[in-house]
Each structure stands twice: as C-alpha cells, then as structure tokens.
Amino acid sequence: MLYNYIIVGAGSAGCVLANRLTENPNTRVLLLEAGKPDRSRSIHIPIAFRALSRTEYDWSYYTQPQSNLNNRKLFWPRGKVLGGCSSINAMIYIRGHRWNYDHWHELGNKGWSFSEVLPYFKKAENQERGASEYHGTDGPLNVANLRYTNPLSQAFVEAATEIGLENTKDFNCREPEGVGFYQVTQKNGKRHSTAAAYLKPCRHRANLTIRTGAQVTRLLLDGTRVTGVEYILDSGATEIEKLTTTSGHQGEVILCGGAINSPQLLMLSGIGPADHLKALGIPVVVNLPGVGQNLQDHLWAGVVYECTQPITLEGANTTGNLLKYLLFKRGPLTSNIAEAGGFVKTTPDLTKPDLQLHFAPVLLSRQNVKPREGNYFTLFATLLHPQSRGYIRLSSPNPLVAPLIQPNYLTDQTDLQVLLTGIKLCRQILQASAFETFRGEELFPGTQVEQLDEIATYIRDSAGTLYHPVGTCKMGNDLMAVVNSRLQVHSIQGLRVVDASIMPTIVGGNTNAPTIMIAEKAADLLMTEEPTPLRN
C-alpha cells in the first residue's frame, strides 16, 4: 500500500498530525510507533507517572558524563508509547513567553511570531475556564485546573507572594510572570495525552493505519528524494513502506521522533555532518552539519525541607485515596506532583523571566544520599534560557543502539550564575512565615552550605533536568539549520521534521504545549498542499 504521509513517531506531535491529516478522506496516512499502546493504568492515573520511568514505556536514555556536574550521567526518560512524552510527563500546560516566538521570527523564521502561533495554541486547546483572547475551547486537548492541591502547595503560593512575587492566575498569556497553580492536560481527572486527545478519536478512520512496535531504522531515498521507510517490528521482521509517487502529489515522510530520535534517524540515513557519518561508514547523502547540534535543555537545582506534618504526597497511595479516585476521579491521585510554581526575573531589567519555579510536596533530589524516613517538600529553580549548547551523535551505525547524548550542561558560566540566584530565591520563599507550621530541617543543600562556592558545588552534585531537550534539527536558513520555516529538511525532498527538535532556541517553560502547537501549524502547512486520492 502507498501512503501520502508516513509519520515516524506517535508522540506529542505525531498524534496531532495523524488526526489533522486524516481529516481529508483522500489522504492516506501511516503512523509508526516504536513503543506500545498506552494501556498501562500508570499512564492514566496522574500521580503515577513517576512509576513509568525505566519501564517498557520509556526509552531510558542517559547522557554522557557531564564534566561540569561532577562527571554524572543524567537520566533522560523519553516516551516510548502512543502519546510519547505526553503519556509519561507531569502534564503541566505551559506555552512560554511571547518573546520566545518573536525571537524565532527575528532569526528569519517567517510565520513563527507569537501573534502567528497563538491561533494554533488556541486551535489545540479546550480550556475548561472558557474562551478568551488567549484561550480556545473547541480543540481536542483538554486543559484543566488541578482537581486537588496539597496544603503545602497552597503554602508555597502564599509564601512567594509574601516575599513580593505576584500571584498570577494564568501562565499562558503573552508575558507570564509571578506564581500560582499550574494547569494540566487532564480530562475528568485522567491524563489527557495526545494519544487520548487526538489519536483515540480518529484511530478507526479508514485512511489511517497505526502500527506499534515498529522502530524505523532508515529512510529510503532515490537520490535526494525520500521514497519511504524501513522499520523493524518487535518480532524482528523488517518491513518497508513506500510513499505515493502520483504526479499530482509526491508523498512525504514526517519525522516526529523528538530531539534525540529525529536527528538519529537522519544521520542513520546519510543526512547529517559528513565527517561524522563517514567515520561510521555511513554513505553521505546530504552534508547537513547542523543535524544533532544546538541541543538545549532545562536544568534545575532545588531546596528540600523536612515537613513537620504527615501531609505530603508521599503518603498518597492509600486504599481510601484509590477508592476516591476510582469512584469519583478526585483526591491526591489526580495530582501531577509539581502542582504550583511560577516565572521570575533574576534582575528587574530583563525582558523575560529567566527562572521557572516548581513546587512539589514530595522529596525530589538528585543527591545520592538516602534521607531518613519522613515527609519532605521541594522547591526547585529551573534555568529557562541556557546559553550552553550540546549535541546528539550516533554512537554506532546500528539503529538499535542508543545515540550519544552530550548536553554540555553549565559550559557557559552564566547558566551557573542564574541557578545560584535560583537557590537563594528558593530558600527565601521556603523560609517565609507561610511555611512556619510545616517547615522542619533543611535537608538539601543543608544550612551548612552558605557560601557561593559551596552552593555551586551543591548544584554540580545535584542538578537535574526537566527532560526538555530541543533544537537538534533547528529551523532556520543559516548553515547550521536543518529545516526551513515550513519544516522541510534542507536539500532533501519529501521530508519534514515536526517536533521539539526544530526549535531554534528553547522556549521559556515546559515544552509539551509548544510541541503540540508546532504540529498543529505543520498540519496546516501540509494541508495547503492538496494530495490526490490513491489506488491500492
């Protein structure tokens, strides 16, 4: 069978494209996903997402040792399941500051300014609070207030406003700043991934074929035109699928594998830095030096306190709470753990916040120290606009071998300075009077850690990632760009990349909502190129 579109990866972007492209009954789409269907109960019960790491639903990647993080390898979970990372993430719905998108436009990417992408955010969204200038109510993706908020999260918002931060009700306006409760991609108390929001409603369309357990290993090319894909099934069998070559519409392969897997597949197929490919014995089809470069991620460091009352989410997994969830979809099991947070400028002269705060009424730490039994809460500060850049490379020409991941965290010293300010701010908030009745000992960094060099050492020992890799197939027109503003791969016909890897610079916030927006906009671009009906 021939297809108009072959989508590689049924994640946050791939599910969107599968839905939108098959709205046209004349368009035949194949959606290939290396992972499994999203049937696990842990996917759908919000609080259970932490149990999905290092399971069959996760690629379970690790970075190279980080020289500026005391040679630690950081764990990078990536969704290997229908819905991708939207099926295993913390469900926080954040778009980012308007500056992010206006900056993309200023870099030469026409059509990607804030005013031009806002309609696609709204198109995707079913905002339970109702429609407004910035929000839509007719989209597939449900955006809701949390059904449960822990008393400690309430204390965080009070403490942050107590020290002078603004209390904001909507983080998804033009210029988000201040603190408050996050909204989440949940519907009726359950996770609302792109698999649930986009794929489930369309999966029985006659013009959509979905295959799980199908890992694409290379692109098929005729010269510099992509003609199809090769993939391996869980059974070990190798399959080939081809695009239509109808004169009225040349088919396209759309890579939606994310910032790791999309550049990996390009390089395996001979599209990437020529010297790197030649060293691995991969024939070079097109020398695109930017493939795998420009890797950016959000790094965080946190402060942990002991809680003097047994009210944290560590004790949420009780029979009573499970019954409350199963019967009413209410209670602590609907929590996304990182219930509250905000956006802060470390200096007032900044045009946009450079720190994001996440508060969690549990212990979250990368320290290799097991604390005594008890209750804890964590406030961490995330570096929103890192200057450090890393890369993805192949570690082997074998497509089943994980690629090499080198984020190069903290290679730019300004990144460390922002996190140092972030630790100071976290301590200031947690020491406010709103926490008086809950605050015990400071577990991490610990009251003995006071000097800047000591805090810097703590950051190097403990900093973690929010798992927001982007940028490795960046959009643009310079020599390091991989795709143009229509997301077509430079110098290759019949191939686009539609996922977080196309971001030239990382957005100032969680990356799932922007990835969905990218896919909505890409679908609109693709549907302006009318395909012709196919024959078997």
Residue 236 CB partners (closer than 8 Å, separation 6+) = none
Pairing verdict, β 190-191 and 186-187? antiparallel
**Which token pair is 192?**
């609302």
Whole-angstrom distance, CA of residue 228 vs CA of residue 495: 10
Give the DSSP H/E element, type plus range, for residue 120.
helix 114-124
Cβ distance 243 to 251 under 8 Å? yes
Whole-angstrom distance, CA of residue 525 vs CA of residue 386: 30
**Which token pair is 316?**
């949420």
Whole-angstrom distance, CA of residue 446 vs CA of residue 30: 53
Please list the alpha-helical segments (H only) found in 472-511. none
Largest CA distance in the chain: 72
Q: Name the catalytic one among 44, 135, 249, 468.
A: 468
**Which token pair is 143?**
């955006």
Side by side, which strands form the sheet with 225-233?
2-3, 238-243, 225-233, 214-222
Helix (H, G, I), strand (E, B) or coil at 196: helix
Pairing verdict, β 238-243 and 2-3? parallel
**Which token pair is 220?**
């098929």
Whole-angstrom distance, CA of residue 151 vs CA of residue 307: 12
Pairing verdict, β 299-307 and 439-444? antiparallel
Using the structure block, give the residue that is written with the tokens 């944290």.
312
Please list the alpha-helical segments (H only) found in 301-451. 319-328, 413-430
468 is catalytic: yes
Residue 278 backbone phi and psi in degrees, to 5: -60, -40
The closest of 353, 306, 358, 307 to 157, measured between CA atoms, is: 358
Cβ distance 473 to 262 under 8 Å? yes
How many distinct helices (H) and strands (E) make up the chain?
13, 27
The closest of 182, 239, 244, 192 to 216, measured between CA atoms, is: 239
Whole-angstrom distance, CA of residue 419 vs CA of residue 391: 22
Q: What is the Rg, in whole angstroms, of the alpha carbon atoms belonging to the chain?
A: 23
Whole-angstrom distance, CA of residue 120 vs CA of residue 17: 13
Catalytically active residues, by annotation: 468
